[in-house]
């Protein structure tokens, strides 16, 4: 159907009768049409929905339309009005809507067939009723609870829907009220709900006792589940609720899942006065459980072949057992019901074997708590393995630990055979069964590994003999082939690597020698590239986890490093990467051992590595070479004798330096060589190698930097000119060409190298005198005169690093830096919030650095430039990019604090900018896209209001009323500002809000909540009736906060001036 403009006009003309069939057609077109007609239909419906009178047609649509989608659309119109304009509607219209909705719900839900058929429609009606209740109950509808309970007893399907309404109301008030309604209103509704709960509870009890209607019972249990986390505890523990749940519903397949969820919610309650009832809950549930699910059941298989509800049951069971044992396990132990606890653990161990990650995570959390708890109870009574102690009785082991011993051993086996993949492992088996390199980090798996690792470490502390025996046995089964598989070897080696440090050093040594020998043997024994890759990856992971062992055993360390060099020639996907990663980890932890002459060696091992560096790296990719260089650099950094260290650095950098010198010499004779793609690419790689060397060596890298510094800056200038020339002749698109990108890489790496070294340098004066002037000369002019697309964002981050490191030593250069980068960068980023994201971020990092360390420089720049700085800060915190907005707020807060310490400059700053800043901060506070920054908004506003209150602002802020008190002036300023921005709020609300800003300025959390409440009020059109905003309660809270603050001030002599003191406190 084509929607003609006149038919659209007809729908929007409220003077004529609504044409229902036309509306049905338009709605149909929106759901099934396409292209332009669909878009027009959408526009018509949106315009109609936003029309202030649209809600007056809802009853006609619902009555006469036969299309479900049209009815749903009508309900959306109504919901919109209720959420935003309920308080502006005349009272009789509110009553009319209310009666109409209630009538519709009763009519639709009383008929069981219609109720089943129109689920979505009635769901929307229920939501609308709950929205109305949030405004009307209890003040305008005090009898709501008794009405709904009374109506429920007349008809079962009506009762079922009423349960849903009560559930929704509970969720709205107790679960989702934060940020949707003011705190005071939420509290009032919660109190009302609790005080009237007995009627609701009697209804639930009545249904559970008497109804044979399964859907109704199910809805009642669902509703009860939502109530359990807030109802008064007497209803749970002093009624027959627990026994009804366990004996009547738990063993009925249809209800067992929801019942178990209810029991879990009860188990999570943390109180001490109902110990007896908790024990009964556990005893009765376990008794039922043993009938439903015999202890011999193989849950792993049962889950695999089970239906969806059966699988859910196993998951809910794990939640119940873990919750109960975590909260009340100690209580059941105290009552000497050890068998019950062990039976529950038995079920949990069976559930832990189920192949479903989410269920395993639930069990894992409890095993972690249990193992940590047993360990902390007596950390040092681990079973002792030395021969002298073997004759000792086990009665030194705490009773509780003895009780759990069989359980713990089974958990160890489960943990070892299910160990998750650690972050360091890069060689994995994919879904097709191929061995490949992993490129994407799986954060879920990494978190799981961390939790399993922690649990296994506790379990090892509790009995490392048992852990070692299980691991050794499993390893032998790998070697003799009985359990050989990639998965089994992986989980075992990941588990072995994860308990590093949990054994005594002697035990660790004995254990590891076996492990490494067995793994090296496996490597020789197995054929096939995939097998070798998996074994290699496991050897590397295990050795990388045990630096303590390697440090103590030089021969092993040397063997391992040589094995890694061997793996660096293995071209299987991922093996070289892992070899380089493991090499860097080992060199970080054992760096000293490589620069010392070890027993039986003629020279330090580093000399050997440097002599044959070429052979080690010949098969590696460039980025792997960079990792290799960083690792060797770490070893050299351990050499404390500076002359020896310099000699090592020279030898270490000789390979890249030879290539560098060749290219530089060629460029000296013919600068065109710097347009050759290969030469430029090589320069980029050499600089990347230097960056990694610098990262590893720190300040001593200066000997290498000095050697290439000026050449490097000259290359920077030449390449910049090349890039600018190409852009001038061929336009900005040229920046996407490979050669230009390689040139920019050289520029970026130059800046990265310099900022990396400056951040690690230890002589700021020398850096400022020798290295900074040539850098500024090469980089700044180039940045300023380049076209925006060719400006490197790293220039800004390098300047920020220099300012952060050199602090006041660089203050004299700030005007030069600002002249070059400030205005031209601001021009790039102040058109919108999206373009040049990196320049944006780095620009504000530079601003932040100058503000923190060289604030004096801000005071010395001309006022017009300072205004630019402040404008850019305001521009920053209005950003939609979260990191930029956060930086902007931090800079502003720091700036306000800095200004406060500058007596001369502060008053003119306040006079010029204070009200401006306030206005801009309020514009983001009230903008819902900036709610993430509310803590910082609150901190800054609280600081600004306390400046006012503490008399730090002595100059008159008002230019029109020179005698006005600053506090009163700001209150008036804010009142006018907020009234103009939100005309739907009345004056009393705004005044209360402004008073609160002053009362809470010493308490950031309260200040933040106060802002949040105001945001809620902004979203509601309040009309004249503002009693519902609980102004009185808010006023009382504000007054209490004010009195409290005053009391604290009075208790400290001198905080209040003599004229502020009450009469009786004066002499």
Q: Report the alpha-carbon distance of residue 341 to residue 323 in Å, rounded.
A: 13
Q: What is the pLDDT of residue 1055?
A: 47
> Which of the four pLDDT bands, split at 50, 70 and 90, describes residue 1026?
very low
pLDDT of residue 1032: 57
How many C-beta neighbours within 10 Å does residue 482 have? Answer: 8
pLDDT surpassing 50 at residue 767: yes
Highest mean pLDDT among 217-226, 510-519, 534-543: 217-226
Cα(379)–Cα(536) distance, rounded to whole angstroms?
36
Which candidate, 612, 703, 610, 709, places its Cα nearest to that of 652? 610
First to last CA, the chain: 90
Mean pLDDT of 944-956: 92
Better-scored residue on pLDDT, 594 or 33: 594
Angle between helix 214-227 and helix 197-210 axes, rounded to 10 deg: 150
pLDDT of residue 438: 67
Tokens 């980023």 correspond to what residue? Answer: 829
Nearest 5°: phi and psi at 140? -95, 0
Across 160-176, average pLDDT: 91
Half-sphere CA count of 109, side-chain side, radius 13 A: 30
Question: Taking the alpha carbons of 476, 477, 478, 481 in that order, is the dihedral positive or negative?
Answer: positive
User: Do 816 and 780 contact (CB within 8 A), yes or no?
Assistant: yes
User: What pLDDT score does 1031 carry?
Assistant: 59
d(CA 396, CA 225): 45
Q: Is the alpha carbon torsion for 128, 134, 135, 137 positive or negative? A: positive
For residues 371 and 459, the answer to whether their CB atoms sit within 8 Å is yes
Single out the residue of 277, 566, 533, 298 nearest to residue 429, CA to CA: 533
pTM (predicted TM-score): 0.77
What is the rounded radius of gyration, in angstroms, for the C-alpha atoms of the chain? 37
- What pLDDT does residue 384 have? 45
Sign of CA dihedral 616, 620, 622, 626: negative
Q: Does residue 1063 register a pLDDT over 70?
A: no
- Residue-wise pLDDT for 80-106, tens only, equals 888 888 888 888 989 999 999 999 999
Question: By three-state DSSP, how is residue 270 classified?
Answer: coil
The pair of structure tokens assigned to 376 is 């902390």
Distances, alpha carbon 769 to alpha carbons 475, 502, 752, 775, 813, in Å: 61, 51, 20, 11, 11
pLDDT at 435: 67
β-pair partners for 178: 181
By DSSP bridging, strand 435-437 and strand 427-429 are antiparallel
pLDDT at 1067 over 50: no
Say what the pLDDT of residue 1018 is: 83
Residue 302: is it exposed, middle or buried by C-beta count within 10 angstroms (0-12/13-18/19+)?
Answer: middle
Q: What percent of the chain has pLDDT over 90?
A: 62
Report whether 317 contacts 362 (CB < 8 A): no
Nearest to 1002 by CA among 908, 939, 910, 1059: 939
Question: Cβ contacts of residue 576 below 8 Å, gap of 6+?
Answer: 567, 568, 569, 570, 619, 620, 621, 624
Residue 47 has pLDDT above 50, yes or no: yes
Place of tokens 């995939």: 530
Is residue 127 a contact partner of residue 172, using CB atoms and an 8 Å limit?
no
Q: Which two tokens stand for residue 199?
A: 């009627």
Taking 70 as the threshold, does the pLDDT of residue 323 lie above it? yes
What is the pLDDT at residue 1066? 43
915 close to 970: Cβ distance less than 8 angstroms: yes
Flag the least confident range among 889-893, 969-973, 1024-1028: 1024-1028
> What is the predicted pLDDT for the residue at 705?
97
Predicted local confidence at residue 624, as pLDDT: 94
What pLDDT is stored for residue 590 in this prediction?
A: 94
Tens digit of pLDDT for each residue in 639-676?
999 999 999 999 999 999 999 999 999 999 999 999 99
Q: Between helices 308-334 and 357-377, what is the axis angle to 10°?
A: 10
Look at residue 395 in the predicted model and tell me its pLDDT. 54
Bigger pLDDT: 84 vs 638? 638
The 10s digit of each residue's pLDDT in 410-467 is 999 999 999 998 887 777 676 667 766 666 677 888 889 989 999 999 999 999 899 9
| Spatial contact of 134 and 189, defined as CB atoms under 8 Å apart | yes
Model pLDDT, residue 226 = 94
- Cα 623–Cα 629–Cα 633 angle in degrees, nearest 5: 150
pLDDT band (50, 70, 90) for residue 40: confident
Report whether pLDDT(126) > 60.
yes
pLDDT over 70 percentage in the chain: 93
The yes-or-no verdict on residue 394 having pLDDT over 70 is no
Least confident of 205-214, 393-402, 1047-1056: 1047-1056
Q: Which of 328, 242, 318 lies closest to 285, judged by CA?
A: 242
- Can you give the pLDDT at residue 1052? 53
Is 572:529 a contact under the CB 8 Å cutoff?
yes
3-state helix, strand, coil in the chain (%, to 5): 75, 0, 20
């Amino acid at each position: 159907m084509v929607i003609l403009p006149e038919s659209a006009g007809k729908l929007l003309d409220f003077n004529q009768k609504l044409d229902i069939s036309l509306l049905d057609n338009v709605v149909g077109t929106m759901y099934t049409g396409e292209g332009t007609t669909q878009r027009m239909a959408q526009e018509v419906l949106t315009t109609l929905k936003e029309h202030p009178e649209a809600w007056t047609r809802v009853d006609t649509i619902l009555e006469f339309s036969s299309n479900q989608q049209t009815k749903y659309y009508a309900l959306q119109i109504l919901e919109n009005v209720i959420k935003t304009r309920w308080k502006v509607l005349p009272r009789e219209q509110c009553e009319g809507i209310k009666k109409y909705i209630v009538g519709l719900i009763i009519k639709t839900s009383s008929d069981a067939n219609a109720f089943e058929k129109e689920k979505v429609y009635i769901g929307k009606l229920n939501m609308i009723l709950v929205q109305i209740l949030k405004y009307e109950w209890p003040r305008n509808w005090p009898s709501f609870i008794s009405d709904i309970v009374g109506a429920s007893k007349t008809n079962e399907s009506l009762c079922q829907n009423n349960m849903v309404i009560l559930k929704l109301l509970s969720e709205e008030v107790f679960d989702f009220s934060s940020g949707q309604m003011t705190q005071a209103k939420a509290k009032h509704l919660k109190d009302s709900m609790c005080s009237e709960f007995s009627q609701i509870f009697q209804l639930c009890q009545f249904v559970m006792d008497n109804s044979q209607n399964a859907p109704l019972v199910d809805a009642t249990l669902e509703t009860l589940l939502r109530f359990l986390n807030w109802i008064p505890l007497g209803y749970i523990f002093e009624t027959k609720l627990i026994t009804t749940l366990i004996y009547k519903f738990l063993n009925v397949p249809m209800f067992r899942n929801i019942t178990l969820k209810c029991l879990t919610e009860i188990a999570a309650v943390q109180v001490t006065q109902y110990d007896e009832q908790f024990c009964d809950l556990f005893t009765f549930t376990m008794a039922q459980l043993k009938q439903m699910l015999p202890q011999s059941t193989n849950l792993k298989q049962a889950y695999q072949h089970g239906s969806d509800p059966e699988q859910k049951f196993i998951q809910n069971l794990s939640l119940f057992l873990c919750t109960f044992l975590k909260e009340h396990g100690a209580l059941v132990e105290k009552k000497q019901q050890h068998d019950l606890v062990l039976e529950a653990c038995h079920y949990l161990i069976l559930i832990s074997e189920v192949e479903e990650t989410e269920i395993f995570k639930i069990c894992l959390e409890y095993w972690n708590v249990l193992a940590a708890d047993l360990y902390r109870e007596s950390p040092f009574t681990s079973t002792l393995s030395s021969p002298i102690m073997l004759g000792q009785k086990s009665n030194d082991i705490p009773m509780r630990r003895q009780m759990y011993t069989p359980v713990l051993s089974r958990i160890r086996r489960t943990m070892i055979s299910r160990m998750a993949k650690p972050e360091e492992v890069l060689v994995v088996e994919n879904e097709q069964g191929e061995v490949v390199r992993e490129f994407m980090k799986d954060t879920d798996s990494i978190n799981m590994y961390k939790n399993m690792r922690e649990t296994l470490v506790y379990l090892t502390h509790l009995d490392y003999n048992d852990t070692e025996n299980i691991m050794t046995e499993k390893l032998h089964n790998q070697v003799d082939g009985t359990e050989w598989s990639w998965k089994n070897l992986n989980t075992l080696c990941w588990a072995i690597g994860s308990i590093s440090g949990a054994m005594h050093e002697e035990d660790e040594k004995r254990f590891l020698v076996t492990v490494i020998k067995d793994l090296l043997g496996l490597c020789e024994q197995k054929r096939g590239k995939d097998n070798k890759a998996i074994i290699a990856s496991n050897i590397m992971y295990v050795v990388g986890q045990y630096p303590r062992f390697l440090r103590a055993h030089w021969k092993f360390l040397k063997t391992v490093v040589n094995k890694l060099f061997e793996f660096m020639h293995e071209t299987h996907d991922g093996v070289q990467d892992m070899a380089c990663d493991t090499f860097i980890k080992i060199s970080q932890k054992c760096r000293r051992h490589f620069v010392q002459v070890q027993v039986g060696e003629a020279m330090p091992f580093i000399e050997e590595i440097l002599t044959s560096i070429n052979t080690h790296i010949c098969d590696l990719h460039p980025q792997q070479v960079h990792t290799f260089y960083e690792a060797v650099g770490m070893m050299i950094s351990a050499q404390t004798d500076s002359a020896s260290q310099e000699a090592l650095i020279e030898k270490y950098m000789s390979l890249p330096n030879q290539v560098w010198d060749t290219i530089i010499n060629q460029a000296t004779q013919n600068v065109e060589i710097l347009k050759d793609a290969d030469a430029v690419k090589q320069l980029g790689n050499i600089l990347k190698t230097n960056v990694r060397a610098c990262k590893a060596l720190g300040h001593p890298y200066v000997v290498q930097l000095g050697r290439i510094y000026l050449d490097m800056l000259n290359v920077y200038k030449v390449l910049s000119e090349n890039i600018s020339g190409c852009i001038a002749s061929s336009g900005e698109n040229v920046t996407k060409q490979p050669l230009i990108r390689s040139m920019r890489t050289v520029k970026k790496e130059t800046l990265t190298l310099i900022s990396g070294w400056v951040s690690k340098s230890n002589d700021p004066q020398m850096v400022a005198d020798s290295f900074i002037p040539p850098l500024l000369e090469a980089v700044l002019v180039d940045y300023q005169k380049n076209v925006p697309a060719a400006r490197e964002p790293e220039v800004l981050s390098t300047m920020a690093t220099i300012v952060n490191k050199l602090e006041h030593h660089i203050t004299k250069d700030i005007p030069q830096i600002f002249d070059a980068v400030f205005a031209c960068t601001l021009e790039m980023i102040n058109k919108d919030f999206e373009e040049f994201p990196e320049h944006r971020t780095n620009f504000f990092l530079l601003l932040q650095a100058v503000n923190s360390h060289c604030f004096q420089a801000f005071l010395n720049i001309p006022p017009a430039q300072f205004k630019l700085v402040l404008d850019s800060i305001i521009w920053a915190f209005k950003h939609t990019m979260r990191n930029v907005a956060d930086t902007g707020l931090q800079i502003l807060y720091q700036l306000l604090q800095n200004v406060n310490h500058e007596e001369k400059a502060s008053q003119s700053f306040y006079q010029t900018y204070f009200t401006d800043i306030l206005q801009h901060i309020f514009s983001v506070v009230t903008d819902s896209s900036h709610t993430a920054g509310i803590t910082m908004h609150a901190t800054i506003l609280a600081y600004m209001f306390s400046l006012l209150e503490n008399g730090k602002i002595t100059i008159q802020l008002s230019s029109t009323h020179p005698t006005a008190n600053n506090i009163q002036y700001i209150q008036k300023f804010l009142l006018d500002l907020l009234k103009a921005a939100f005309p739907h709020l009345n004056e009393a609300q705004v005044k209360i809000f402004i008073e609160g800003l002053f009362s809470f300025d010493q308490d950031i959390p309260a200040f933040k909540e106060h802002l949040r409440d105001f945001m809620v009020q902004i979203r509601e059109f309040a009309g004249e009736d503002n009693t519902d905003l609980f102004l009185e309660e808010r006023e009382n809270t504000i007054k209490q906060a004010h009195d409290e603050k005053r009391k604290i001030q009075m208790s400290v002599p001198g905080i209040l001036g003599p004229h502020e003191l009450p009469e009786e406190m004066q002499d």
